Structure 1
Amino acid sequence: GDLRTRSQRQADALVQLADNALASGDLPTMRTVKPHVAVVIDLDDLVDPHPGAGAGRTGFGAMISAARARWLACDSTVNRVVMGPDGQLLDLGRTHRVVPPHLRRAVEIRDRHCVFAGCDAPSHWCDVHHVLEWLAHDGDTSLENSALLCERHHTKVHHGFRVERQPDGRWRTWRPDDTEIVVHQPFLVSA
């Protein structure tokens, strides 16, 4: 269960509310920066002259045609996320500490929500955390070294907890005393 006091929960909620407002992308009408739209599509599908149905996926999961993706890209700044043949992003190494928008989108697509055991906070509430710390442990800025963590769990990870991604893609969470946090799924009872 949640061991935070009511005041702590309210403070965390206020931080989350402010973080959501800052990350919302709402701009004053006088600014020239356009809203961001994330579309995931294979390069082959994007350049194919024949519009295919369901070739791309928006950040919210809606399927769109290649023609619609090209239309969205027509008057836009296009940031590409290049995935290798094994599905891994070609990393940015140690040249950048701050996770750029295209890498954040790749982490959001992979993780979908906070990866801390038992948490399902949505990706837009989360920070991208360097699993192997960038400054203290020379961790690189890459998809492989990134994890989505909500504000609360990101703070916990910087106070002794840790998350680890397993070879099968599942995440495991560890307490500062090296005991694992295990969340059991409820059994489904058939009628």
Structure 2
Amino acid sequence: GFGATLSAARARWLACDATLTRLVLDPDGLPLDVGRTARVVPPHLRRAVEHRDRHCVFTGCNAPTHWCDVHHLLEWINGGTTSLDNSALLCERHHTQVHHGYRIERRPDGRWRTWRPDGTQIHTHPGPLAAA
């Protein structure tokens, strides 16, 4: 910490009229999660999303990071936070599709899945084998 010690009574007094803002920092002290205080993704958070996702996460798309928007998985207007955990890179085409019924989800292993509006999952299939 910063060396300051507060008594419980002083903390209650300060909290009486306070607002609370959660801020999660990376090892360099840059915010990775700004909670609900900002909808627009700050540059350092965008860099973290680009580093994690590498390209558009929509199944079958490899659009580079500079073609992509940072999408809130749970929309900010519906209570979603501006955070690394609630973000995904989507190219303009797929960002539009996600806002028109398509759905993306990050699995616990970090891989992404995509569903059509009718609920069917989009799978990628390997191309035909080259003739030897």
Identity %: 73
Q: Deviations over 1:45-66 (max 9, x none)?
A: xxxxxxxxxxxxxxxxxxxxxx
Q: Using the TM superposition, give the Cα deviation of residue 186 of structure 1 relative to its aligned residue in structure 2, in angstroms.
A: 3.7
Q: Distance in 2 between matches of 1:153 and 1:174?
A: 12
1:107 to 49, 74, 79: 49
Q: Unaligned regions of 5+ residues in structure 1, if any? A: 1-80, 84-88
CA RMSD between the two structures: 2.0
Distance 1:187 1:144, change over 3 A: farther
Higher RCO by CA contacts (8 Å cutoff, separation 6 or greater) = 2
Q: Distance in 1 between matches of 2:113 and 2:68?
A: 17
TM-score (norm 1): 0.51
Q: Does 1:147 align with 2:91?
A: no
TM-score (norm 2): 0.73
1:82 corresponds in structure 2 to 26
State whether residues 33 and 84 of structure 2, in contact with CA within 8 Å, keep that contact through their aligned partners in structure 1. yes
Structure with greater proportional strand content: 2
Q: Distance in 2 between matches of 1:185 and 1:147?
A: 24
Q: Unaligned regions of 5+ residues in structure 2, if any? A: 1-24
Q: Using the TM superposition, give the Cα deviation of residue 91 of structure 1 relative to its aligned residue in structure 2, in angstroms.
A: 1.6
Say which SS state the counterpart of residue 89 (structure 2) adopts.
strand
Q: How many residues align?
A: 105
Q: Distance in 2 between matches of 1:90 and 1:104?
A: 9
**Which AA in structure 2 matches 1:183?**
T
2:35 to 72, 80, 93: 93
- 1:52-63 mapped onto 2 (5 Å cutoff): none
1:167 to 86, 108, 111: 108
State whether residues 58 and 90 of structure 2, in contact with CA within 8 Å, keep that contact through their aligned partners in structure 1. yes
Q: Distance in 1 between matches of 2:74 and 2:42?
A: 17
**Which AA in structure 1 matches 2:80?**
G
Q: Distance in 1 between matches of 2:119 and 2:54?
A: 26
Extract structure 1 runs of 4+ deviating beyond 4 A. none
Q: Distance in 1 between matches of 2:47 and 2:60?
A: 22
